[in-house]
Structure 1
């Protein structure tokens, strides 16, 4: 049997073992060197100790998403989960056909669960502040538009500030953005107007019901009106570029950056966003 190491290295190793365990640890016989009973038992014990380590290494080096049978836990911004949840779970199912999934909305105590290692992946808006224990990766950008009913009496003619400032607004709560100090209020105030919030809600369906049956408008993503025959998207009034886009980030614990499950999960989620024609790739 060839060990792949030099005779000198073997000799040095034997000398060190004899120094530690005594001269009878490895004995010289007429046909060469032979291990003592202690040496044999230590070798067997070492193999048993190394077996779990070997299994861990094999799991990392030979990880196959298609064969993974564990549970995958993902937390998603409420707003994004309502938009993308149905299609996202199908993408995950294709990538991990033998896994089970817990796909839940982000809540106020969710960060503790993430830091405890109970969550595999987080999808959240960039506006949400996270501690340094989490590694952040840009996934995509959502482009904002004005949403309202088709043939809107005002927007069908113009969507500049002077024309729309009096219109009632349906507003969606976004995690990480304080609705009492929102961007919309600032945009209106900077132009000498006061935003008229008729509805503030977590429910996209509630906001859609309102704008379908009134002159109210919604500043949001075109996902809201896709394939809806009653709604249309309209151009935003002149606004800063930072308002025109919502950045979507993927996050996971720093100590899982080399984890094969985490990397496969990120790749699957990134593929989902990259393949969506209504989403801009992360710049």
Structure 2
């Protein structure tokens, strides 16, 4: 086929072959009968071939047209399939999906998130990993399809953020302790739970207390939330965390209004994939999981 052929005319050719009638073809194409005739004439000129013969039974494709027809129909079908790829069928998706979350969030929501995603994407392989210092670069290079962390404007331009749910930092202690007054709890030892990925070099929530003239004694510095919960259940120890991540056997201690810090839990993906149907589907599932009233671990004692 010559390179000067108007490919838009090939659909007209196929429909006329199927209809064998200019009037019927015109109805299917949503144009006039005259327009269909002119389109066929242009295509015939471009190909330098006779495409149809008029017979008592209607328009009959020539041997040349019959020879081309199967390949043209196949090509048009492939184009339509490509254009329809915006339609995403999660139950048919096959592939590995890695999602990174802070360890404390993974502990609280990991099981529920895994079950939700596996049910929605039964043929996929779901990997839930811990957010670390290389997570952003892994998202950018495609090793991790999506991350979950608090909204952070200080990120590379290749990353796109989308809000999942609102959250708030709190001072938490074990419910097994009778204390409920902040003036008492602020004198307790505190746990510094180290978490990579959001304001790594400072704690905006703690800085609010410092600005109000209150400092905490961070006697414990831990990486493991489960170990932190064990200390909290047995000793008078407090920790800074968010409401969403707080297990059922911990409780919030009311603090001065000026110390409150609200944050947005967000999904992290590449800017190029922000409108990808798979990414949009995953974000929707994240919203479902993190907006639900998950009970989390029953006990850490």
TM range, smaller chain: 0.7 to 0.9
Please tell me whether residue 250 in structure 1 is matched to residue 276 in structure 2: no
Distance 1:202 1:70, change over 3 A: same
Distance 1:180 1:266, change over 3 A: closer
- 8 Å Cα contact 1:126-1:247 kept in structure 2: yes
1:79, CA displacement in angstroms? 2.9
Please tell me whether residue 236 in structure 1 is matched to residue 261 in structure 2: no
Matched ranges for 1:181-260 at <5 A: 181-222=202-243, 223-226=245-248, 228=249, 232-240=250-258, 242-243=260-261, 245-260=262-277
Residue number among 117, 133, 150 corresponding to 1:92 in the alignment: 117
* Alpha-carbon distance between aligned partners in 1 of 2:277 and 2:189, rounded to the nearest angstrom: 49
* Alpha-carbon distance between aligned partners in 1 of 2:55 and 2:198, rounded to the nearest angstrom: 81
1:164, CA displacement in angstroms? 4.1
1:184, CA displacement in angstroms? 4.5
* Alpha-carbon distance between aligned partners in 2 of 1:276 and 1:75, rounded to the nearest angstrom: 21
TM-score normalised to structure 2 length: 0.73
Q: Which residue of 2 aligns with 1:146?
A: 171
Distance 1:55 1:218, change over 3 A: same
More RCO (CA 8 Å, sep 6+): 1
Please tell me whether residue 159 in structure 1 is matched to residue 176 in structure 2: no
Q: Secondary structure of the equivalent of 1:270?
A: helix
* Alpha-carbon distance between aligned partners in 2 of 1:237 and 1:8, rounded to the nearest angstrom: 79
Please tell me whether residue 168 in structure 1 is matched to residue 193 in structure 2: no
Q: Secondary structure of the equivalent of 1:147?
A: strand
Which structure 2 segments of 5+ residues have no match? 1-18, 297-301
Q: Secondary structure of the equivalent of 1:174?
A: coil
TM-score normalised to structure 1 length: 0.77
Distance 1:190 1:261, change over 3 A: closer
Distance 1:275 1:49, change over 3 A: same
- 8 Å Cα contact 1:171-1:207 kept in structure 2: no
* Alpha-carbon distance between aligned partners in 2 of 1:19 and 1:180, rounded to the nearest angstrom: 71
Q: Which residue of 2 aligns with 1:12?
A: 38
Q: Which residue of 2 aligns with 1:268?
A: 285
CA RMSD of aligned residues (A): 3.2
How many residue pairs get aligned? The number is 268
